[in-house]
Amino acid sequence: MTELNHYLHGFGNHFQSESINGTLVQGRNSPQKVPHGLYAEQLSGSAFTVPRASNLHSWFYRIRPSVLHDEFRALPQDYLASPPFHSPTPPTQMRWNPIPYPASARDFIQSLITIAGNGSIEMLTGAAIHLYAATASMQDSYFYNADGDLLIVPQEGALRLKTEFGILDIKPGEIAVIPRGIKFQVLLPDGKARGYVCENFGLPFRLPELGIIGANGLANPRDFQVPHAVFEDVSGDFKLLAKFQGHLWISDIKHSPLDVVAWHGNYVPYKYDLKKFNTINTVSFDHPDPSIFTVLTSPSTIPGVANIDFVIFPPRWMVANDTFRPPYYHRNIMNEYMGLIYGIYDAKETGFLPGGGSLHNCMSAHGPDADAFNKASNATLTPEYYDNTLAFMFESQQVWRLTPYALTADFRQKNYLDCWKGLKSKFNESSHITENQR
């Protein structure tokens, strides 16, 4: 693995890797003849003329160019969908149990189920939230997404992501980002795997600005890793799948498209271990806003407003004095889908299960359930380490519109609102009357 360094800051740092020495020709991106009889091919993840700091592209030196495949034809898709969704989404707070594994063998792509989305692929804005529950490795098939970047968050089971750039192995507690257009294949080392995917149609993910935090904190660039070049020189009968304009397409291909012998550039897949996140929290009283837990952000055209934020709530010390420590009751302008990778979320100690999810859209009130409120209100406030928890949030400026499947799914908790019914009025007017008011 290679450290990602400043790539996520948009400074355009350059990376390179070759699996056969002497493949990369210094000073030339497209020499008249590439060493070893390879083809040069550029992959651009941004417009050619954007500022240098935002210009994303990589050069491949591959055995066969990517144009070698048959005509694409439509591929039926069961539960994979793309916004805009036009069915009404109620403002009701919602929660889901973990998605069940399918009874039949389904690979990563076949198992994708869309829960929610916003924005528009055509307008290059918004995102979609998918779940996967795969029971088979991809066999003789490969995939790329022309609609957006894929942020993959495993919850159960490891994934081996074989990409054009090389291999990324990720497990629960780690994440990977496969940028738009990069071909890959997903293998299941543990035989099955479940998790979450955020498909980002907007600007690529990057690290948030640190502002008054200064130089250090949150996710450090050097902890992100990119793959080393590994190539497959294999001929046979393969399938190339593509997601394009919200639909799946399939083409026959006579070779593995993972035949890149060397590459260089700054448009690359990458992984990150969430344990390396440097959590910032209060050491006096009250709560910082949850934005302080942002790992990655996709900016919108409005400064300070995210197209999509990826936020985590990891193991951390809680030491706030004279403070209600779980998340307070709140309503806000942003739209929050939460998932739980492992452990217990402090505001919902029961009912919110690893692999499950919850949705609190714009101005829909949310906060601790009755049991969590009563426990935290009466707790002895000594320093406490939250060690059995890893929750996350996909937070967007746009409302998460639900798919009909998510709204009616058997694993949606129809009684979620009951968790707040135990919150009774404790108001005692007489306790607030002073001697001067008597």
According to DSSP, residue 350 is labeled S
Structure token digits, residue 211: 């502002």
Identity of residue 366: H
Compute CA distances 76 → 9, 80, 350, 359, 425, whole Å: 38, 10, 38, 28, 53
What is the distance between the alpha carbons of residues 255 and 259, in angstroms, rounded to a whole number?
Answer: 9
Identity of residue 63: I
> Which candidate, 77, 54, 67, 61, places its Cα nearest to that of 29?
61
| Residue in 287, 360, 366, 432 annotated catalytic | 287
What is the distance between the alpha carbons of residues 438 and 436, in angstroms, rounded to a whole number?
Answer: 6
Helices (H), 297-380: 370-377
Which residues contact residue 226 at a Cβ distance below 8 angstroms, ignoring those fewer than 6 apart? Answer: 1, 2, 3, 4, 7, 15, 17, 165, 166, 268, 269, 270
Structure token digits, residue 116: 């929610």
Structure token digits, residue 328: 């307070």
With b for 16 or more beta-carbon neighbours within 10 A and e for fewer, the 370-393 pattern comes to eebbeebeeeeeeeeebeebbbbb
Q: Does residue 264 carry a catalytic annotation?
A: no
Q: Within 13 Å of residue 168, how many CA atoms lie on the same side as its CB? A: 29
Evaluate whether 259 touches 41 at the Cβ level (below 8 Å).
no
Evaluate whether 416 touches 94 at the Cβ level (below 8 Å).
yes
What is the distance between the alpha carbons of residues 153 and 183, in angstroms, rounded to a whole number?
Answer: 18
According to DSSP, residue 64 is labeled S
Catalytic residues: 287
